[in-house]
Structure 1
Amino acid sequence: MDRDVKAIVSAVIIGLLAPIVIIALLVANETDIIDIVVQGILLFSILPIIALSAYMWITGKGASLIAGYNTSPKAVRDQYDSEKLAKFIGKLLFFSMIPMIVAIETIFFLEGMWIFWILLAVSMAILIIGMIYMNTGGRFLKEGAIDPKLLITEDDKKDNRRILYAVLGISIIITAIVVIIIFFIAPSGNLTAELQDDSLQVKASMVNELIAYDDITNVEYRDKFDTGRRIAGFGGTNINSGKFKNAEFGTYTLASHNKVSAHIIVYHSNNILAFNLDTVEDTLSFYDQLINNVK
């Protein structure tokens, strides 16, 4: 195996080992399984990229991994200082991915989203400014190099256009998905609660609880309730639902209208469900009916 390839593989392996250590620590601390799975997906996705970018930054190797450069004709690639280019790309990725991973982590550990948006904006700004800097001024050309544009044939131009159209198409699709999620899916959500003959059923995004009355050990009504932070689930403008964690209960199940402060707390089979309806009055009325059914 080529020496550079070995080094790149080593960087990726190190990036994979770091998440394993972190996940092992989470398991040792008896962290909730959902926390572990979510953190695992996040860490195994991003840390190898950070490790690889650090390797490129430090060594100046790995230019063959740079999109656009690696698909250019050899005559074009020969005009560039590959070491200088690799170091810059490594540095750019490293400093853009660090705020990115911290931003994503804030979703799990902080209640507000403003820090997430600030860090995400910082990450994107670093990436965009860096890309503009890299692609202007011929900064990474060797001394006395020929203008790469003069070396590109008509076939090369056609290939580049195809790549550009593909990238633009993928970018448009991803942007459309994000816009749909932010403006149409995230603000919505649905929550229903039903008293059946022998059980309570609560449904919401990523929540479907069917609890037999015989399994309910206690029911509480609270005017105010600290929902804590979302571990895994749905976080919309109107509804929060899924697995949440707060100081009182630890990990529990939530199905909540954000605008309603009142909640019904159901203790059952060593688990806890907190939910409400779309008004305080409806929540209190449902609580009274539930109490009668549990008795």
Structure 2
Amino acid sequence: MIVAMLVIMVPILIMAIVLSKGKGAFLLAGYNTMSESEKEKYKEKELCIFMSKIMYGICLGLLLITLSEQFKIQALVIVGLIITIGLPLFSMVYVNTGNRFKKEIHNGDNDSSETNNTGR
């Protein structure tokens, strides 16, 4: 079991390291299948760094599950499973709501963020 978990954890850890440098967006499912014009709408570096943090967390969860097997501590399995299952669910909701990683588009004179405070 320990060897199997390490075989799973090492590639995830390598991908997390690559993503933490703001590179490797091709590793992100969904993003890598977008057209170039769609990709230009997103802050690629910020998205990569966020996803690297999620992947580090998943590695932590898998490590806890592995340690629970080694030390026979049931609580580590529970915490590890919550992290390993919860983080991907959280990240899917977080990334796909609120336009957090979309670039702001400024249209020059048509900028709607400016308000006219003349009282009319």
Deviations 1:236-284 (A, max 9, x none): xxxxxxxxxxxxxxxxxxxxxxxxxxxxxxxxxxxxxxxxxxxxxxxxx
Between the aligned partners of 2:90 and 2:22, the Cα distance in structure 1 is: 21
Distance verdict in 2 for CA 1:102–1:114, change over 3 Å: closer
Between the aligned partners of 1:98 and 1:64, the Cα distance in structure 2 is: 23
**CA positional deviation for 1:74:** 1.7
Paired residue for 1:107? 69
Deviations 1:207-236 (A, max 9, x none): xxxxxxxxxxxxxxxxxxxxxxxxxxxxxx
Do the aligned partners of 2:64 and 2:79 also contact (CA within 8 Å) in 1? no
Paired residue for 2:100? 139
**Which of the numbers 38, 50, 64 marks the counterpart of 2:13?**
50
Do the aligned partners of 2:63 and 2:80 also contact (CA within 8 Å) in 1? no
**CA positional deviation for 1:141:** 0.9
Deviations 1:105-139 (A, max 9, x none): 312321x4332022211332222112211111111
Deviations 1:47-103 (A, max 9, x none): 22112202311x111111100011112211111111111111111111122122221
* Unmatched tracts of structure 2, length 5 or more: 107-120
* Unmatched tracts of structure 1, length 5 or more: 1-37, 146-295
Matched letter for residue 42 of structure 2: Y
Matched letter for residue 95 of structure 1: G
**Greater relative contact order (CA < 8 Å, ≥ 6 in sequence):** 2
TM alignment of 1:153-164, pairs within 5 A: none
Between the aligned partners of 1:78 and 1:108, the Cα distance in structure 2 is: 46
Task: Report whether the alignment pairs 1:76 with 2:50.
Answer: no
Task: Report whether the alignment pairs 1:41 with 2:7.
Answer: no
Between the aligned partners of 1:115 and 1:44, the Cα distance in structure 2 is: 20
Do the aligned partners of 1:100 and 1:119 also contact (CA within 8 Å) in 2? yes
Task: Report whether the alignment pairs 1:127 with 2:82.
Answer: no
TM alignment of 1:160-199, pairs within 5 A: none
**Local SS of the residue matching 1:45:** helix
Structure richer in strand, relative to its length = 1
Between the aligned partners of 2:65 and 2:75, the Cα distance in structure 1 is: 10
What value does the CA root-mean-square deviation take over the aligned residues?
Answer: 1.8
Between the aligned partners of 2:27 and 2:76, the Cα distance in structure 1 is: 32
Divergent runs of 4+, >3 A: none
Q: TM-score, normalised by structure 1?
A: 0.34
Between the aligned partners of 2:9 and 2:19, the Cα distance in structure 1 is: 16
Q: TM-score, normalised by structure 2?
A: 0.76
Structure richer in helix, relative to its length = 2
Q: Which has the larger radius of gyration?
A: 1
